[in-house]
Chains A and B, each alone.
Chain A
Amino acid sequence: MRALIRYLAMLRQYPSAVAGLGIVVGTVLFALTAIIVIPYPEAVRLWRGGEGMWTDTPRFAPPAWTNWFSGANLPTTIRLDSADGDVPKMREDLGGGLTEVHLTYAFDYPFDGFPQELTVFFTPTFEASRPNASLTWHTPDDREIRVGDVTLRSAETFRISQDTRLERRLGGLQPEIGLFADPADPTRPLKGRYELRVSGLVFEEAADIDAKLVVYGQVHGWAGTDHRRRDLGVALLWGAPVALSFGLLAAVGTLVTTMFIAALGVWFGGWIDALIQRITEVNIILPLLPILIMVGTFYSRSIWVLLLVVIALGIFTAGIKSYRAIFMQIKQSGYIEAAQAYGAGNLRIVTRYMIPRIVPVLVPAFVSAVPTFVFLEASLAVLGLGDPVLPTWGKMINDAQANGALFRGYYYWILQPAALLLLTGFGFALVGFALDRVFNPRLRDV
């Protein structure tokens, strides 16, 4: 314990180590936040939820903070739902079982760009006779534009921005542009208060109409959205615990086992040592990634199965040779002989006398190995072998690649997970470097 404190104190002398430790602690806190804010089942639901999950978000929208840099105030999504009470609803009895339902969707539009899409989702309640609804659009300069009429089924989606008749009425402008355009300068939207009035006609006593207006923005949330309208924030948050646990578990699993096996091989020598050497030689030429790919395609894509394979293939690596060299020296030491003289057993000598001596080499190696495995997990996901249910950074990059994000200019989609990956990897690598210097005095002065 005292040794640990001393090493930590020495670490303080390296500013890069302090920065690295800061990043590592930050990443861990970030990961913990993710787990607390979005529990695992919720994360899976948000990421895999199917079509209905993401209807209220735009497609390919960069994060909202890009507005700070672009200078233009691009629209965010506006969502008004009469079922949530966002919208004043009036019922007017026309007699003869006929009721008119008035819904007024009023919202401010202070943005510099046009919305991406415009859609009304109707959810009427009725027994047999299908209600009607007619929609009119009121602009801030008091123009009134008839949008259209619909006969409602049990769930009707009216995509205003895809209505070709409305487009013709607006003089060939796409509805999401034509409805917002400033008549003086149709390339710019008119800022101010817009209103969409829905008047529905229901033919039954108990029948009612609820509807949700979504004005899809061009930017969304703090992380943006992807091709399936998913909020990337979920994946950015949940990528952290997945990456960290994969990296840490793989590093612990491989290094500790490697060290133990190297120690056993050196201590017992003979055929055990020879066997370990031969296994290592075979293992070095076994291509790790292709075998992981084989396992991923043929058996299971679960990240935990792949983790086990990574550990299994990562035990007999080149590290075993360098540990072996160090153990060989240790084995010759006098104190081992002394331990044997007082009758210490094999296991005791290996665990109490040999392994503690190698910890100074092991700790930096461990910290430096974490980013390798973090990137390995990302690599697998980029190849399309990501865990089927978990949202990860690598899967985001894979989706982005598959949708030509770099080519089409959706840079945020790749840059955000890449930046987080780099930050995580860099933090561990910085600490590993400094630890290497602390534990290996020969490196210290150079």
Chain B
Amino acid sequence: MADAPLIAGGVGGGAARRRRAAASSFSRVARFTAFRLAALLATVVVGVYLTVLIANMGGHVDDIRRSTIREGVAMVVGMDPEIRRLPQEQRQQYMQDLIEIQERRLGLDRPFLLRSFSYLGSALTLDLGRSEFLVSDSGSRQVRLILLERLGPTLLLFATGQLLLFFLALVGGLMLSRRYGNWIDRFVIALAPTSAAPPWFFGIFLILIFAALLRVLPFGGMVASPPPAEPLAYALSVLRHLILPVTAIVISAVFLSVYAYRTFFLISSSEDYVEMAKAKGLSSQAIERRYVLRPTLPYIVTNFALLIIGLWGGAIITEQVFSWPGLGTTFYRAISVTDVPIIVANTVLYAYLLAVTVFLLDFVYAIVDPRVKLDGGSR
């Protein structure tokens, strides 16, 4: 009890220092964030531009534009009784003129290099006109509406899966590093190579076991059909449908991640400063939190970022295998009917999703790593 005031004094001084440190770290993180945001926006613009270039190499974006114009003109002409009364040839001529004017207005007669920038603008805002075949649930054929409607389910599935994966891997890694060499540890190491397979692959097996053989979980979809009217029942139904795809996402990466984190924790817990902390007699929890976890967090975040970026790639098929009504399934349907506007816009949307992922993880990185400075910019 005698040293209680000393501790209190220490805490008081620490609080002031911490407040100051918090303020400076806030401005540091804010400046870093702003810088990264600007850099990423530039990256997205370049990335989308490349997407447009690839898509239009066969004139596909031009075709989207032309058919949109044609449809619009046909609609205008069809609505106008005066024009409808004109003889066939004159009407055709009139339509042709209108189409030409529109094409010139949108710059379709200009060289591609100039046009590509106007495409870039419409691709960045997903303003790619109407789909050729697919229709949104609300009955719209606007590409943007179709895709935005599907964004929610995709985010629900992958955010759940990735967060679960992150915490499982972190906790699992810590637990295994605490007592490595036991049978669980060896079991996880033995299973780590299975992470070579993507989530959809495990999805097939999960469906086979739990849906086809045991009949305890649904084959796919997001909600029972017909969807329950009551909100609680609806949520439960969605939860039930989430189990298999989320499990597939987690299984596909968890063993490798646990193995990687555990190895990393083991290596860093043999560092001199950890030995020093042990010699000071700190509790193993304190050592873990302050001396092992804290310095390795930046590495873990980076590692996780790369994992997630890889996972987005498999998202399309994972959704398709589970008939999850997200972007991936829409993409799959667009491929099977060759719906060009949807394919281009979906690619752009995935680029956005990747950029947002990179940005969020950069942000987390800046928070956990005090060494990140503005001039560092990149990792």
Contacts and interface: CB of A to CB of B under 8 A. Distances in A.
Given A285-B351, A425-B197, 6 more contacts: A281-B39, A284-B358, A286-B51, A286-B354, A293-B343, A385-B335
Residue among B39, B50, B335 with the highest chain A CB neighbour number at 10 A: B335
A421 B190 CA distance: 18
A294 B343 contact: yes
Interface of B: 39-40, 43-44, 46-47, 50-51, 54-55, 57-58, 60, 180, 190, 192-198, 200-201, 204-205, 207-208, 211-212, 219, 263, 266-267, 306, 309, 312-314, 316-317, 320-321, 331-332, 335-336, 338, 340, 343-344, 346-347, 350-351, 353-355, 358, 378-379
Given A282-B43, A321-B379, A421 B197 contact: yes
B65 to A, nearest CB: 16
A375 B197 contact: yes
B331 A287 contact: no
A381 B323 CA distance: 17
Contacts of B346: 290
A293 B347 CA distance: 9
B323 to A, nearest CB: 10
A382 interface: yes
B194 A295 contact: no
A421 B266 contact: no
Residue among A291, A321, A446 with the highest chain B CB neighbour number at 10 A: A446
Contact of A281 (B263, B331, B378): B378
A378 B180 CA distance: 36
A284 B331 contact: no
A150 to B, nearest CB: 41
B55 A375 contact: no
Contacts of B379: 321
A426 interface: yes
Interface string A408-420: 0101001100100
A293 B331 contact: yes
Given A282-B46, A285-B47, A383-B317, A446 B266 contact: yes
Interface stretch (A169-177, A211-219, A428-436): A428-436
22 contacts: A277-B378, A281-B43, A287-B313, A287-B354, A288-B313, A289-B313, A293-B331, A293-B347, A294-B55, A297-B335, A298-B60, A299-B57, A321-B379, A375-B197, A383-B335, A407-B212, A409-B212, A415-B208, A418-B204, A418-B205, A432-B193, A443-B267
Contacts of A368: 196
A142 B146 CA distance: 67
A397 interface: yes
A143 interface: no
A425 B350 contact: no
Nearest to B190: A16
Interface residues of A, number: 54
B198 A286 contact: no
A202 to B, nearest CB: 50
Contacts of B196: 368, 371-372, 375, 425-426, 428-429
A406 interface: yes
A284 B212 CA distance: 38
A2 interface: no
A298 B58 contact: yes
Given A383-B317, A418-B201, A442-B267, A282 B55 contact: no
Nearest to B205: A418
Interface of A: 16, 20, 277-278, 281-282, 284-291, 293-299, 318, 321, 368, 371-372, 375, 378-379, 382-385, 397, 401, 406-407, 409, 411, 414-415, 418, 421-422, 425-426, 428-430, 432-433, 442-443, 446
A290 B266 contact: no
Contacts of B353: 287
A422 B201 contact: yes
A287 B357 CA distance: 12
A409 B205 CA distance: 13
A285 B43 contact: yes
Contacts of A20: 193
A446 B263 contact: yes
A277 B208 CA distance: 44
A432 B44 CA distance: 34
B300 to A, nearest CB: 15
Contacts of B309: 284, 318
Contact of B306 (A318, A375, A384): A318
B343 to A, nearest CB: 6
B348 to A, nearest CB: 9
B118 to A, nearest CB: 20
Contacts of A414: 204, 208
B51 A285 contact: no
Nearest to A286: B47
Residue among A284, A296, A421 with the highest chain B CB neighbour number at 10 A: A284
Nearest to B56: A298
B223 to A, nearest CB: 19
Given A298-B58, A446-B267, A284 B208 contact: no
A39 B340 CA distance: 37
A384 B336 contact: yes
Residue among B44, B180, B193 with the highest chain A CB neighbour number at 10 A: B193
A371 B358 contact: no
Given A281-B43, A289-B313, A297 B343 contact: yes
A286 B197 contact: no
Nearest to B379: A321
Contacts of B180: 446
Given A297-B335, A382-B317, A421 B201 contact: yes
Contacts of B57: 298-299
7 closest cross-chain pairs (CB), A and B: A429-B193, A371-B196, A287-B350, A290-B347, A425-B196, A429-B196, A446-B266
A305 B317 CA distance: 21
Contact of B50 (A286, A290, A382, A406): A286
A375 B201 contact: yes
